[in-house]
Amino acid sequence: MTTDLRTTLDACLAASVAAPDPVPGVVATVTDRAGVIYEGAAGVRRLGEPTPMSADAILALFSCTKAITGTAVLQLVDQGVLDLDAPAADYLPEIGDLQVLDGIADDGSLKLRPPKRAITTRMLLLHTAGFGYDFFNATCRRLTSEFGYPSHRTGTRQSLKLPLLFDPGTDWEYGLSIDWAGLVAEAIRGKRLDAILSEHVFAPLGMTNTGFALSEAQQSRRAAMHAVDKTGALVPVPFEPPANPEVLMGGGGLFGTAGDYARFLRMWLNDGMGDHGRVLKPETVATASRNGLDGISVKPLPAINPALTYAVEFWPDIPKSWALTFLLNEADLPTGRPAGSLAWAGLANLYYWIDRKTGIAGFWGAQRFPFRHPTAIAGFEAFETAFYRQISAAR
């Protein structure tokens, strides 16, 4: 990496924490197939305290967790013990008990019916099974606020058992599917998800600072969560997931560092080979990197809970699809990212991309609500654009 490139990327991070409506701190990294080529941080871990944000800061990863859990599921396919197109109930019977919501009766009760087809694990990885989130879907919000269903933030098994929003395989809705996929993996392996990820994903990747629970040393490096209070001031806010939850949420429960996540992204650049061993077969990586939706479209996500998220639509004018388990841009992006790249994000304004064509992947992570905050989006896109411009100019 040239001095000019480091200076340019450092300036992008600095601009995000110096903006009028800033992110308190940000850490970012870029890797190619050989290793990390940029790592930087700006701002502070916690507003009101002097400790600077650092490359080894521990972040709540939120939905950046999903691709990691998806990888553990794809390993089961590699090993011949999971058929993505078989009913998921063959491995996890309780998922076969879920029913489709057909409306609300005049007496205020829910109208439920059996689904017309079984949920498959492929549907779980593609978000076509019928599950939603109560901060993106108005029906799910009603179920948790009016009908007694617990929020998934409780970490209970019951919180995953909301009625399906549609018949499996007929639509796309972002939600609890990957949490269910994690339970499928647990049922097949006979182990909790933390043990599965530790043995089969983190070890061959060398990810020593990622997990559902933090050690005392890791806790000391944790970045605080931030949001705007009632006075309009940006302040640290409590954020503590349930201790020893009934379900380890494979859709959003991990903590980790940017450096660890770069190791995970690099494995996808290297056709499934991790820093310390193979994680996935090359053919599995190739298949999982393609559009998996058949005539179904990825749709925008509304801001049902504006304290947590703005409305979400990445690149509205760009055709998009869904892979296993990533957003896929079907055309080149203005940042320089080519068509066919993989990406997704985490609720506290964390973003990543995997450009298998160029052999580049990047991660940009903050800890502030709401998701898709304008400063965070501008900072991430400026960071990515600056990187692609620099490598393009060097060619």
Mean pLDDT value of segment 4-15 = 95
Mean pLDDT value of segment 293-306 = 95
Mean pLDDT value of segment 293-304 = 95
Judge if the upstream peptide bond of residue 20 is cis by omega within 30 degrees of 0.
Answer: no
* Cα→Cα distances 332→30, 117, 328, 341, 345, Å: 19, 36, 11, 9, 19
Is the per-residue pLDDT at 48 higher than 80? yes
pLDDT band at 395 (very low <50, low <70, confident <90, very high): low
Model's pTM, two decimal places?
0.97
Mean pLDDT value of segment 258-263 = 98
pLDDT band at 108 (very low <50, low <70, confident <90, very high): confident
pLDDT at 255: 98
Q: How far apart are CA 88 and CA 86, in angstroms?
A: 6
E strand or H helix at 111, and its extent? strand 110-113
Residues 6+ away with beta carbon under 8 Å from 73: 82, 121, 124, 125, 181, 182, 184, 185
Residues 6+ away with beta carbon under 8 Å from 393: none
Tell me which of 66, 91, 177, 351 is the catalytic residue.
Answer: 66
pLDDT at 391: 83
Mean pLDDT value of segment 49-67 = 97
Angle at 7 between CA 6 and CA 11, to 5 degrees: 115
320 a catalytic residue: no
230 a catalytic residue: no
Q: How many Cβ atoms sit within 10 Å of the Cβ of residue 192?
A: 15
Q: How far apart are CA 219 and CA 56, in angstroms?
A: 12
66 a catalytic residue: yes
Contact between 332 and 315 under an 8 Å Cβ cutoff? The reply is no
> What is the identity of the amino acid at 336?
G
Is the per-residue pLDDT at 2 higher than 80? no
Q: How far apart are CA 341 and CA 289, in angstroms?
A: 8
Three-state DSSP at 245 gives coil
Contact between 25 and 349 under an 8 Å Cβ cutoff? The reply is no
Tell me which of 16, 63, 289, 341 is the catalytic residue.
Answer: 63
Is the per-residue pLDDT at 323 higher than 80? yes
Q: What are the DSSP calls for 136-181, one per residue?
A: T-HHHHHHHHHS-PPPGGG--SGGG-PPBSS-TTS----STHHHHH
pLDDT band at 1 (very low <50, low <70, confident <90, very high): low
Mean pLDDT value of segment 288-297 = 95
Q: How far apart are CA 63 and CA 1, in angstroms?
A: 30
Q: Write down the mean pLDDT value for the chain.
A: 96
Q: Which domains does the chain have, with CATH numbers?
A: 3-64+193-393 (3.40.710.10), 77-187 (no CATH)
Mean pLDDT value of segment 52-80 = 98
Is the per-residue pLDDT at 393 higher than 80? no
Is the per-residue pLDDT at 394 higher than 90? no
Residue for token pair 């411009």: 389
Structure confidence by residue, pLDDT tens digits, 131-189 = 999 999 999 999 999 999 999 999 999 999 999 999 999 999 999 999 999 999 999 99
Mean pLDDT value of segment 47-74 = 98
Tell me which of 38, 91, 149, 174 is the catalytic residue.
Answer: 174
Residue 43 in tokens: 């701002």
pLDDT band at 345 (very low <50, low <70, confident <90, very high): very high
Percentage of the chain modeled with pLDDT above 70: 99
**Is residue 207 left, alpha or beta, with left meaning phi > 0 and alpha meaning psi from -120 to 50?**
beta
Angle at 223 between CA 217 and CA 362, to 5 degrees: 105
Structure confidence by residue, pLDDT tens digits, 12-36 = 999 999 999 999 999 999 999 999 9
